[in-house]
Structure 1
Amino acid sequence: MPELILLDLNMPVFDGFDFLNSLPKETFDLSNTRIIVLTNSSNPKDMLLVSSLNVAGYLIKPLTKEKIETIF
């Protein structure tokens, strides 16, 4: 399993919310995987919804060295 997943919320057809809601928790052990939302959305509704899901962080694009350092 990956140690880190950078997940964009705004993807065509199957967005980040779809991905998070469709993860079969019984099949995949993600206990050692950190999911970081990396998106251009600063919408408070998106931030609130993401906070209720199993993610380790929320970063707004553009990605910078300083933002990457906050992940680790």
Structure 2
Amino acid sequence: MRYEVIIVDDEDIIIKLVRHLIIKSDLHQDPKGFLSGQDALEHLSLLNETALPQIILLDINMPDLDGWDFLDFLMKSDLKKNIYVVIITSSINKSDKIKAETYDIVAGHIEKPVSMKNMEEIKNLKSLESLFHN
């Protein structure tokens, strides 16, 4: 595969579920999971310029460094190159979806509970087309 997938969620059970769905849907065979935004940022900071593009499935509501802070940090850094974020949230607040759309690196938005249908939606996101269909 010509990209990597990272799951960032503060609930281990959600990471395990999403990881299972990603593998089952053939979106990726070895997605990495992180229980905090800080751990995910540390992982991303170790990547070099030749690293594969990163698809990040990001929970918004997390303690300490929440999804918005994570996105703000990425936008101010050189890490944002080749990064595509799909927001995963249980929030039904329409303002969250509107806010997510203000970030250039956000490719899409899906609501919990995550399902196989969501994996297909991710595969069909216009901004990720070049990663999946080459």
TM-score (norm 1): 0.85
The structure with more helix, counted as a fraction of residues: 2
**Counterparts of 1:15 and 1:29 in 2: how far apart (Å)?**
17
Alignment identity in percent? Answer: 36
Instruction: Return the offset for 1:35.
Output: 0.7
Secondary structure, aligned partner of 2:100: helix
Hey, what does 1:53 align to over in structure 2?
A: 103
- Superposed CA RMSD in Å reads 1.5
List gaps (5 residues or longer) in structure 1: none
Hey, what does 1:42 align to over in structure 2?
A: 92
Secondary structure, aligned partner of 1:67: helix
The answer to whether residue 79 in structure 2 is matched with residue 28 in structure 1 is yes
List gaps (5 residues or longer) in structure 2: 1-50, 124-134
Q: Which has the higher contact order (CA 8 A, sep 6+)?
A: 1
Instruction: Give the number of the structure whose alpha-carbon radius of gyration is greater.
Output: 2
| Misfit runs of 4+, over 2 Å | none
TM-score (norm 2): 0.48
**Counterparts of 1:29 and 1:15 in 2: how far apart (Å)?**
17
